[in-house]
Amino acid sequence: MNEIKQDIYLNPHQARRRPPTQYEDLLGDSIERAFGAGIHDLSELVAYLNRTGPGCPLNEGIWTETLYQEEIARLAA
């Protein structure tokens, strides 16, 4: 059967596939705070995350540059 779209389409969340997890929200908070504090280098960002959390989901909670890149690529995919 056909599908006729009659309603006005207003969907505020088109990029995400599911609601964010608490970990993702905390990570977003931390990243924004780091950027807001003028941190733009990967090494400084990783150090900031290790100071403020959330912890890395791997490696017993410790962020490294490699792990951050892997994790953020996963979250960005």
Partner 1 sequence: MRTIANDPVEAVLAVGLKDLWYPICPSEFVAERPVSLRRLGRKFVIWRETSGKLHALEDHCPHRGAPLSMGMALGDRIACGYHGVQVRFDGVVTSVPGSPGCKLEGAKATRSFHVQEACGAIFLYNSSVDVDQPPPLRLPEELTSDEFSNFLCYAEWKGGYRYVTDNVMDPMHGTFLHKQSHSMAEGDNTATFRVRETDIGFVFEKEGQRDVNFDWTEWADTDLHWMRLAIPYPKTGGPGGSFFIIGSYTPISENVSAVFFWRCRKLSGWQRDTWRFLYRNRLEARHWAVLEQDRVVLEVMEPDANQREMLYQHDMGIVRWRRHMRNLAKEQLAKEEATEQVKA
Binding site for partner 1 (CB under 8 A): 1-5, 8-16, 20, 24-25, 27-28, 31-33, 35-36, 38, 40, 42, 68-69, 72-73, 75-76
Closest distance to partner 1 from the beta carbon of 74 (Å): 9
Q: What span, in angstroms and rounded, lies between the C-alpha atoms of 33 and 49?
A: 10
Structure tokens at 72: 């953020």
Closest distance to partner 1 from the beta carbon of 22 (Å): 11
**If we measure between CA atoms, which residue out of 46, 20, 21, 23 comes closest to residue 34?**
46
Closest distance to partner 1 from the beta carbon of 17 (Å): 8
Q: Is the dihedral of CA 23, 28, 31, 33 positive or negative?
A: negative
Nearer to partner 1, 8 or 60 (CB): 8
